[in-house]
Structure 1
Amino acid sequence: MKNALTDLGAPELPAGYFYRVADDLYGITVQVRRERRFGSAFVTEVYATPKEGQSAENAVVLACMKLCRFVREAAEERQKTDAMAKYLGDHK
């Protein structure tokens, strides 16, 4: 899904996941959250800290890139688990 972060160059997340940029006690964090029926669940986060000569926007995009690979792998594992769910229960 397109949003302000993807317009800056951040990669799109799998369906059901979204970015949240939050103000933390120590700085700005970029979180990935998973949509739920009511609200959302925290998945992972990194701090977005601009390096020397780096723009704030670029720091946020780089943080998104770090998170995206992890989330894509987690989403693939979740799909495998969901596919196995049809076998839950007793088999006599």
Structure 2
Amino acid sequence: MAELVDAGAPELPTGYFYRVKRASLGLLSVEIRHQGRFWSSRVEDVYVCPGDFPTSREALASACRRAFDYWQRQQTDAAALFAACVHLGDHDPKGR
């Protein structure tokens, strides 16, 4: 991850890491993954075309930034949704 961070990718919290894989049609897949006890799970992924950037390193850093932004936005939206759900639970229709 240090190489990606040096290239401009955001540093991830402890327990998370980037996975870069080849995808079809010349694209690369950049995933943010959470390391569990026995396996990791994907929390966000984006695709990037390295040919759209001067170097593949810049392409990967851009994809990492985009994946990180999507992930952070998703976390913020989930927190706002949870905060808005103050009336969770069963409610007596008769008001008792």
After TM superposition, the score normalised by the length of structure 2 is 0.65
Using the aligned pairs only, state the percent identity.
Answer: 34
Larger Rg: 2
Mapped partners of 1:15, 1:39: distance in 2: 15
How many residue pairs end up in the alignment? 77
Unaligned 5+ runs, structure 1: 82-92
Unaligned 5+ runs, structure 2: 83-96
* Equivalent residue runs for 1:1-92 within 5 Å: 3-26=2-25, 27-50=27-50, 51=52, 54-74=54-74
Instruction: Report the CA distance between 1:15 and its aligned residue.
Output: 2.2
Contact 1:34 1:41 in 2 (8 A): yes
Runs of 4+ in 1 over 4 A off after TM superposition: 73-78
Tell me how large the CA RMSD over aligned residues is.
2.2
